[in-house]
Each structure stands twice: as C-alpha cells, then as structure tokens.
Homo-oligomer: A and B are copies of this chain.
Amino acid sequence: MTGAAPGGRASSAPLMGRDDEPTVFELSVPGRSAASFRRTDVPEWTADELVPAEHLRIDPAPIAEVSERDLVAHFTRLTHRQYSVDLGAYPLGSCTMKYNPKLCDATAFRPGLANVHPAAPVAHIQGWLELLVDLERDLCQITGMAAATLQPPAGAAGELTGLLLVRAWHRDHPPADGGRPRTRVLIPDSAHGTNPASVSLGGYHVTQVPSDARGLVDVAALRERLDDDVAAIMLTNPNTLGLFEEDIVEMAAAVHEVGGLVYYDGANLNAILGVTRPGDMGFDIVHSNLHKTFAVPHGGGGPGAGPVAVTAALAPYLPGPRPVRLGSDADAGFGWEDPERSIGRVHGWHGNALALARAHSYMLANGGDGLRRVADAAVLNANWLRHRLRDVYDLPYDRVCMHEFVASAAGLKKRTGVKAIDVAKRLLEEGFHAPTVYFPLIVEEALMIEPTETESLQTLHALAEALIRIADAAATPEGADAAHAAPRNTPVGRVDEVRAARHLIPTWDAR
C-alpha cells in the first residue's frame, strides 16, 4: 500500500475530529485516476507521431492521482472548513458582503449564456450584446453618467482603466501654454490601497490629502494641493469611514477648475443607490464594484466586475470594442463599436461576462425601487449597529453614517490589551465573520463594520451582543487572555502569519 492519506476519512475539523485535511497530493496514489474521455474514433497517433521530439515532455506533468470519490470528499470537506455569506453574517467593512441571490447563480449557468464563444460572430451573440447594452444603460442611470465600459474585471482594474482615461484626456487637452503634462493624482489618506497602486500603474504620482476632524476630506488642504500638475482626484463617497463627503460639489468644482478630473471609486455605491448619483456630484469617471453593490458573489476572492462609467466628454476614450445598439429601431439589433479615441482593450475579451449577467439579474430583480430600499436598509442597519456599540467601542466619527462605520478598539486596547485583531478573532468564536480590521489606516485599531442590508435586525442584535460581550469580557485578565487565544472553536486556531512569510512554503513541493 502506498502511504497516501485516506480519502474517505472525514476526521478533519470541524464535523468530526480536529485533524488536518490532507492535500490532494497526499491523497494521490500512482496510477489512480478519475478521468474518462469521450469516444471520438479519431486515429490514435502516438505523442511521438504528433509532437517533434524537441518539444515533447519526457515525464508526464505530475498532477494528482485521485479517484473521483476522493476528489469529491476532499473538496467537500474543504468547504466545511470555510465560512461564507451563506453560513452567516460577514460584516467586512468596504466589502459589502450581502446575500447573493440564488437566482443570479441560475442566470450564470444558463447554457445560452455560458456556452457562447467570445469570438462568435455578431449574429450569434445578439442576446449577450443586448444584455450588456441594458446593463450599461442601467449602470449609467444609477451613477448618473453617459456611457460605460464593462471590460474591467474588478475594482482595481476599473481604477487603472479610469486613470488611463484621465491620461488620454489630458493628452488630448494639453495645457494651453504647452506646459508639461500633469503628473499627480490626489488621494485622501483614508483611501483603499488599490487607489494609490493604480495611480502608480497609471503613470502618476500620488499626493495624499488629509482628512479633517469630521472624517471628511480636508477641503482647505485639498485646495492647497491643487495646481495644474494635478491630473485627477480619486474619491469614494461615502468615504471609507462610511461618511458622506458633504463638500463633494465644492471639491469637484475645485479640481475641475485646475483642469483635473474627478474619479469615483464605487466600492461604496451601495449606500447611495437611488439616493444620489456620482454624476450629479460632479464626478467624471465612476467605477462600480458589481461584486459588492450588485451582489456578484465574491468567490473566495473573485471574480468580480468593475465597469467604468464616464461623462459624455470622456465616452470617446472608453476601451473598445463596446456593445452597442445598431440604430434606434427596435429590431435594429446589436453590434460592436470602437470608440473614436479609445484607450484600447483592458480585458482579453469582453470583461467578466457571466459576472455581468449575474449583476444584471440582480438589478432586474430589484428595479429602481428595490435598489433604493437596498440603500435605505444598508444605511439603517449600519446606524442601528453604530448606536448599539457606541458605549462600548470608540467611535472616532460618531454621527449618522452611511452603509458602514469605523469603530476603534484603541480604548479597549489601552484598558485591557485586547486589540482589534483580538476582537476580530473572538467574533469568529461567536459565530460571525470579523469586520475589516486596521483599515482605513487613519483610524487606530480600526474595526470597519458594514452589516449590509440583507442582515436582519435580529442578526444585528446578536452581532451587537457578541461585540459587547467581547468588550466586557476583556475587562478581566482571563477574558483578555481568552481574547488573545481566540479563536478556539474554529477548524484551526490562530494562524502563524510571521512564520508563513519567514519560511515561505508556497507549494506542496516546497515543503
């Protein structure tokens, strides 16, 4: 018998036992296999006959050698070691971990969508094109913009697309005096990390704008940084503190005044659906995270979709080809069109199409009224929870928030030694996913909490109780110790991150 691990033993935590789950490589036995191939009656030439010797692999690529039964058991057990929205609340700030309706899954599995080749001729893809055109129209309506590209596969990709739009715009609108091209993009200190990273990839330099005591962009500081070297400003509104940038109109105008463009990071769009629109605030470019606001599931890290919508002035720069309705006639059909001054493709094909279809179904299901109710409930939930926690955690910006709020464990830490990360780990023990911690960077020991609209009052209540219990328990030395030792009822205990980085084991073969 090979020393392979037993695929049929379910002793890995949590259903029974506290063992590791063996890797698929440990389950492998030479010669074992699950594969089967269809009968084709094609002549059975050998590899030697088909591939010149200098190209041919000598040994087959070592994959894994498992039975279908063991493969199924292995991955099924892995799912039992994984938290998810479908198991419970996931109040990760900035991530909008709402319930992902099953009807959107059903959409994504329709063979008439899923089995279409991306290079199929236009006559074969009329349904897809119409879907994309409809989605673009609805996104423009929601954001208050004129046109959009659906290609960017995630928020960060949308940001970079936006910055390339900024670049192309400025290329075509050089300083009247023939001066040098703009080099800087302004970003608030509360911004998400993708913003500055995208700025660099867009070929710009980051200039940080501080927040003021209100937790909003410091308008005076912003003005100080404005000159004709500024290509754009990137903002999210509500910002990452969950606060609405009340001076947004003034800020946008100020940036426009120096010839800069105003970019909207749509990660927080959920809060303002049907309430207000980035376009009306003065934004020129808006990306949306469909995997947040529009319920595309996060898939353990992706895929998402990050369409970018723009004003009419910027529309000619959008990536191409774009799906378009061919004329105003209802039967005119749909086709592709390359925008006049397109920055070019930003995706190998047409973006994360099936994710776009999911988002489209979600929007159809909600409609205008439903989306507004989403915003109402998301904001109400956040405020209710903020209220419940205000006596227990520090709330550096304790006023009506939007879809999320940022609490701080700084006081708790000072009093008890229990930090934000400990609160997070204790919350796992209580049956909830943790909030986002240590972000935004401007709040010490930040606990960024976004309940989303799909959690009920009862769930919020339980979550609040748990957070209060955690803080209360931290007051005793045993309680504080327990918090440091948390979590203890999860498939594994607290994980050694330092060791992972110091003794890097990135693959099974590197052990």
Asked if A335 is at the interface (CB within 8 A of a chain B CB), the reply is no
Asked if A304 is at the interface (CB within 8 A of a chain B CB), the reply is no
Tell me which residues from 12 to 27 in chain A have a Cβ below 8 Å from any Cβ of chain B.
12-19, 27
Cα(A463)–Cα(B81), bound, Å: 22
Q: Which chain B residues border A428 with CB–CB below 8 Å?
A: 16
Minimum CB distance partner of A459 in chain B? B8
Minimum CB distance partner of A82 in chain B? B15
Chain B proximity of A29: nearest CB distance (Å): 7
Chain B proximity of A454: nearest CB distance (Å): 5
Cα(A274)–Cα(B11), bound, Å: 35
**CB < 8 Å neighbour of A6 from B14, B80, B459:** B459
Q: Which chain B residues border A2 with CB–CB below 8 Å?
A: 458
Is A29 within 8 A of B72, CB to CB?
A: no
Is B458 within 8 A of A101, CB to CB?
A: no
Is A431 within 8 A of B16, CB to CB?
A: yes
Q: Which chain B residues border A13 with CB–CB below 8 Å?
A: 14
Is B72 within 8 A of A9, CB to CB?
A: no
Tally of contact residues, A, Cβ under 8 A: 61
What is the total number of copies of this protein in its complex?
2
Asked if A455 is at the interface (CB within 8 A of a chain B CB), the reply is yes
Is A16 within 8 A of B430, CB to CB?
A: yes
Q: Which chain B residues border A321 with CB–CB below 8 Å?
A: none
Q: Which chain B residues border A456 with CB–CB below 8 Å?
A: 4, 6-8, 29, 32, 67, 69-70
Q: Assuming A11-B430, A72-B99, what are 7 further A-B pairs, CB within 8 angstroms?
A: A1-B457, A8-B432, A9-B432, A10-B83, A15-B81, A17-B489, A76-B84
30 contacts between A and B (CB under 8 A): A5-B458, A6-B456, A6-B459, A7-B456, A7-B459, A8-B88, A8-B458, A8-B463, A9-B462, A10-B83, A10-B88, A12-B431, A13-B14, A14-B80, A15-B80, A15-B87, A15-B490, A16-B83, A16-B431, A16-B487, A17-B429, A27-B458, A36-B365, A68-B102, A70-B456, A70-B459, A73-B86, A73-B87, A76-B84, A77-B87
